[in-house]
Structure 1
Amino acid sequence: MTNRVKHEMDKIEIPSELSDRSRKGVSKASVEMKKRRRLNLTGIGIAAALFLSFGAFLLLGGTYLNDAGDGQQAFIGKEGEGVVIPAIKLPKRNTADMDMIGLIVYNGKIYTQTNSQLKPEVAKTLVGEKLGVTKGNIDEWSSQKSYAEELASTISHADVYAVKGYDRDFRIMIYNERDGNTRAEFYENLNGITINSGVDLFGKLKIVDHVSSAYWRTSDEWYNSIDNFKPITDTVVLNAFLEELDYAKPMLRGPNGAVLDDLRSDGGSRELTVVLQDGSSVRLELLEGGYIVYGAMDVYFKMDEAVFSDLWSQLHIDY
């Protein structure tokens, strides 16, 4: 978050007549932003740098920085063209004061840290063709020229591979074994694409017909890193929900950010984790009313409410 944005936020006063629930909601929103920034900054234990302001990305609705330093947002294409997420363009000016997330440059595309995970003990089974070794050559002071190099990255030297069963234009992975420890992580290309329906994202994640188990937790537990996971046992309802993801309607996150925050503040948010048979897992945020969020994309999805409600009704909170 830039100093200017922080200064403006600091000037906002919370009216005394706000209810306790509203106060709690404001606090949660703050915690959520800090938590997501922390996760992306430390996902593999090192400082990682992508020249877009990740704090502003979450707060202002996905503003990318182009090479002039101007804002560039996802937008609705022409009729029938869906939601367009522009390719990330990197600025030429100094970016030492910006927030940062991890990235790898491969085949002319930028792959960033993802909201999907994999268990280290099964990661080796997903290792495909070796693509090279990250250069670890990008930091806050790197020039534009650094990004033109194949496998330029913000992470220290790591072996990069294709992922078995997944399109390398969408997903790659790092994998290393050292001193008995496994370092494995997905990176995904979620920019420079058009989303017409949920299948353009969820189809690439290969969820349908590949589910091993699924569990959920409340937004409070998620925000506070409380591992109180509850299993989803009705596989018929779960599978119907997962199949319907392919038909979910994409929506711009920026103009609707306040609506999503209100739902979170009112306790209308759940984290759903779907564990796949290959050992990977996909984390989704479900918001009451039929909304689904995947990571920090500038697009979220609206699902048919009848199908969504069948699953939502199982995510009870017992007090």
Structure 2
Amino acid sequence: MSNNIKQEMNKIEIPKELREKTKLGVSQAKQEMKNTKKKYNVKVIGIAAALLISIGAFALFNNGLNDTANHPATPFITDDGGVNIPEIQLSEGNMNADMIGLIVYNGKIYTQTRSEIDAKAAKDILGEKLGTTKGTIDEWSKKEAYDEEFASTVGKTDVYAVKGYDKNFRIMTYQEQNGKIYVEFFENLNGIKINSGQDIFGKLNMVGNISSAQYRTFSDWDNSIDNYQSITDMETINTFVTELNKAKPFPRTQNSDPISNSRTDEQYRELSIHLEDGTTVRLTLLKEGYIYYGFMGAYFEINKNVFSKLWSNLE
């Protein structure tokens, strides 16, 4: 691994919430699944998010974040103003691939995301079964392993389409065991071109589907404190979500990633948008006017007046 990547990795700020989820996941995996042949590797739920929390971790996939001439896997602006997010490239022998939550489906790599679903509500949007994952990917896997359908780092579990959502964008794992439901969304946020927010936010089905919204500060998020504040101005929330479809994308690169300097209570908000179907979409908002979704190589900017009105509800 190059010194540049190591330097970027050292900048990663892993929230306490994710560290605790990692410990809990490992404990649950050992305790609840030791007597069954189905070993759904729940530990990756927290770990993947921790690994991908910053652009430094994004380098794990793309083998560097310098200029596109030397590193063609770096996100870049296209001639028509869009942003190209190259396909994930996993290098051999220099990363802990078994710690990254991913599934290979239909020739694409789907990774864990920042949208989630209530376990009880998950049954209502459970679509057709697509297959069963193979826990065949680990840190020693060859690149060819990622060409195998349903290869994954999440052990063996069933994969389904999600009702109301494009399976080329989102799939889900679902398993019932010992009276508990384990469900997780996976989304294809790589190997794509983003022309506007519609290409990402439009696929989340938020417009006309919002039931409520909350927010919390950076320190609350970082320390796993459920100090959520409700947002009562639903007109502003709905206007914001509609405007997201027009958002302008920017590539996250080593030299351009505003979130790197905005992890403070004054600059950072986590916005949770709860949808009628039981889904929760979590967005990161920066006071400068930028929006982040998931662990992907792009961030977004919308109309400043619309953003400022929403931000005034978050102070």
Give the equivalent residue in structure 1 for 2:180: 181
TM-fit CA distance, 1:261: 2.6
Give the equivalent residue in structure 2 for 1:17: none
Paired amino acid for 1:64? F
TM-fit CA distance, 1:90: 3.1
- The one of 62, 65, 80 aligned to 2:62: 65
Give the equivalent residue in structure 2 for 1:143: 142
Length, aligned pairs only: 291
Matched, 1:307 2:303: no
Change (3 A) 1:65 1:301: closer
Give the equivalent residue in structure 1 for 2:86: 86
Paired amino acid for 1:141? W
Give the equivalent residue in structure 2 for 1:24: none
TM-fit CA distance, 1:220: 1.1
TM-fit CA distance, 1:33: 6.7
Matched, 1:267 2:244: no
Cα distance in 2, alignment partners of residues 214 and 121 from structure 1: 20
Q: Secondary structure at the match of 1:301?
A: strand
TM-fit CA distance, 1:5: 5.8
Give the equivalent residue in structure 2 for 1:296: 295
Runs of 4+ deviating beyond 4 Å:
2-10, 32-44, 53-57, 60-63, 96-99
Q: Secondary structure at the match of 2:171?
A: strand
Once the two structures are superposed, residues 49-71 of structure 1 have per-residue CA deviations (whole angstroms, 9 ceiling, x without a partner) of x99x94696227656337xx967
Paired amino acid for 2:169? F
Cα distance in 2, alignment partners of residues 199 and 149 from structure 1: 30
Give the equivalent residue in structure 2 for 1:193: 192
Once the two structures are superposed, residues 201-240 of structure 1 have per-residue CA deviations (whole angstroms, 9 ceiling, x without a partner) of 0001111101111100011111111100011111111111
- Note if contact 1:290-1:308 (Cα within 8 Å) is conserved in structure 2: yes
Paired amino acid for 1:158? T
TM-fit CA distance, 1:302: 0.8
Change (3 A) 1:56 1:308: closer
Change (3 A) 1:37 1:191: farther
Change (3 A) 1:156 1:265: same
TM-fit CA distance, 1:142: 1.5
Q: Can you give the 5+ residue segments of structure 1 that lack an aligned partner in the other structure?
A: 13-28
Once the two structures are superposed, residues 158-203 of structure 1 have per-residue CA deviations (whole angstroms, 9 ceiling, x without a partner) of 1100000000000000011111100111000000111111111000
TM-fit CA distance, 1:87: 1.1
Cα distance in 2, alignment partners of residues 75 and 102 from structure 1: 25
Q: Secondary structure at the match of 2:224?
A: coil
Paired amino acid for 2:80? E
TM-fit CA distance, 1:305: 0.9
TM-fit CA distance, 1:36: 6.1
TM-score (norm 1): 0.81
TM-score (norm 2): 0.82
TM-fit CA distance, 1:35: 6.1
